[in-house]
Amino acid sequence: MISLKINNMPVYAQEGSTVLEAARSIGIKIPTLCHLKGISELGACRVCVVEVKGMNSLVAACEYPVREGMEVFTNTPRVLNSRKTTIELILSDHRKDCLSCERNTNCELQRLSHKYGCDSHRFEGNTRDFVYDDSTDYLIRDNSKCILCRRCVAVCRRQQGVGVIGANDRGFATHIACPFDMKLADTPCVGCGQCINVCPTGALQEKEEITRVQEALANPNKHVVVGYAPSVRAALAEAFDLPLGVNCQGKINTALRYLGFDKVFDVNCSADFTIAEEADELVRRLQDGGKLPMFTSCCPGWVNHVQKNYPELLPNLSSCKSPQQMFGALVKHIYSKIANIDPSRIFVVTVMPCTAKKGEKRRTFTDNLADVDAVITTRELASLCKENGILLNELPDSETDKPFGEYSGAGMIFGATGGVMEAALRTAVTVLDPNARFAPLEFREVRGLQGVKEASYVVNGRELKVAVVNGLLNVNKVCQAVKNGECDYQFIEVMTCPGGCVMGGGQPIRATIVRHKAEIAAARAEVLYSADRTNVVRRSHNNSGLQKIYADYIGSPNGETAHKLLHTSYQALPKYCK
């Protein structure tokens, strides 16, 4: 341990740690704009400068290591003036339309400008030529609001291993863009949206579909149905200043009805259908010598990644549609019969924690009818509620509608890394061993936030070896191992986002200090696991609503009707487009 002083207070810090970490350990918050612990530690923005006794120049706290006996000052007039000037210089090349900006009141640059009393017009002069890229289905990059912090670059390259954006040109002309200033849609970007979650300003945001949803709700000829993903209930409350780990499921149901949706369903239900199909598919591959290992296909970011980078592994993908895709197909082709409504009149909206889900709806077609019509993120639902004066924390709880509001605990845990695997195991084990009346309900070996988790189970005399992977950087390692024949898994769950869907690119954006201090992924995941533990039905195939739909409309899993409605196929995509 290193002994030092910060603002004349004695501090003991771990050798090798930074001044920023030492200050935070005693409750002193040093502002940052470019720093993200473990991902981006460049010291590029210079907002975190501090004064060290005996040194002439100020140093960046986020990268300057502690030394025995050093004395640090974080609040001298020199430090405060330097921070203010730096922020004002950033503002001189920043489009300041704060009142209409998506990130208004949740912008780190805005907060710091207010805190230090900055004059946004102190430095006037030339501005860069800004790039506006809306080429994808899921994301908009507006460089007029970019502050060159490079967080997005770091998270794309170091956390996700994709690396499709970086700093182009030099000097005053420097800007964040794709190689050769290509459009984002022409690159290997998978749409995970992690860059949005770490952007301190409004330079990156999802492509909004609130307007389309509002138009549908106002159209008397449309029957508007909504379903929301498991992770939405674990995070939406944060957008209304409630603490981490609040399950607001009942209030979401009420809010959606207040917004005018005709039916409020739950994508947990279609997650159960996914498991019924996927577990049956796995068992068939194991018994009939099918292509192994079988990869899950629930995550559109992962599907995009394998289509662009590992086309030789496409036969290993499960043919099952994702829960979102299945939800749309079930509503348009089963619910329409139950409610006696023309499918063309039904407008299906999903609320997702993921930006890649917006791109996924392009391929959700059954009988030339779009399964899903609009996808809004958790953030967009929060904005829609606020725009309509809905105070989430003051709403009464209510239930979802039937038939697609019934679900098992297994469907609930889909949002956490390992959840899809655990849900599939709960069903697959009972199929492989019909006598396993007391098969385990919880497979804790596949839980947790590690990048790669492995487990092995013996079922009816057969060893079943599985892996759970989250974060594309880890995915690349596993894919290479599969390609090289270096692993003998039978089943692999893949989620693009570290921590799974609970940390999706469409979830509420948390301030950097919260990301450093709080275990956000663990808190959100616990919401799902807690709900699973209290659910009477905990295996997907035991969902009574699912059983009735199969009996009345679909037949058996992986049957002819099931394949038409609930399965799909995948083709290789070019890594780069011209």
The string of pLDDT tens digits covering residues 244-262 is 999 999 999 999 999 999 9
How far does Cα 262 stand from its chain's mean position? 27
Distance CA 57, CA 44 (A): 15
Residue 516: what pLDDT?
A: 73
What residue type is assigned to position 518 of the chain? A
Residue 131: what pLDDT?
A: 83
Which helix (H) or strand (E) segment is 329 a member of? helix 323-330
Phi first, then psi: give them for residue 61, nearest 5 degrees: -65, -30
* CA dihedral of 131, 135, 137, 142, whole degrees rounded to 10: 0
CATH architecture of the domain with range 211-566: 3-Layer(aba) Sandwich (3.40)
Q: How far is CA 233 from CA 499, 543, 550, in A?
A: 16, 20, 27
Contact 151, 198 (CB under 8 A): yes
CATH architecture of the domain with range 2-75: Roll (3.10)
Question: Closest Cα partner for 83 from 64, 61, 104, 67?
Answer: 61
Q: What pTM does this model have?
A: 0.94
Residue 578: what pLDDT?
A: 59
Residue 437: what pLDDT?
A: 61
Residue 2: what pLDDT?
A: 92
Distance CA 38, CA 498 (A): 13
User: Which residues have CB under 8 Å from 124's CB, separation 6+?
Assistant: 92
Contact 230, 271 (CB under 8 A): yes
Distance CA 557, CA 564 (A): 11
Residue 37: what pLDDT?
A: 82
* Every domain of the chain and the residues it spans: 2-75, 117-206, 211-566
- Low-confidence residues of the chain: pLDDT under 50: none
Question: Closest Cα partner for 165 from 184, 140, 139?
Answer: 184
Longest distance between any two alpha carbons in the chain, whole Å: 80
Residue 40: what pLDDT?
A: 81
**Residue linked to tokens 């749409």:** 191
Q: Rounded to the nearest 10 degrees, what angle do helices 77-91 and 108-115 cross at?
A: 130
Distance CA 161, CA 177 (A): 16
Looking at 2.60.40.10, 3.40.1440.60, 3.30.420.40, 3.30.70.20, the CATH number of the domain 117-206 comes to: 3.30.70.20
Residue 436: what pLDDT?
A: 64
* CA dihedral of 207, 211, 212, 216, whole degrees rounded to 10: 160
Which helix (H) or strand (E) segment is 142 a member of? strand 139-142
Contact 217, 261 (CB under 8 A): yes
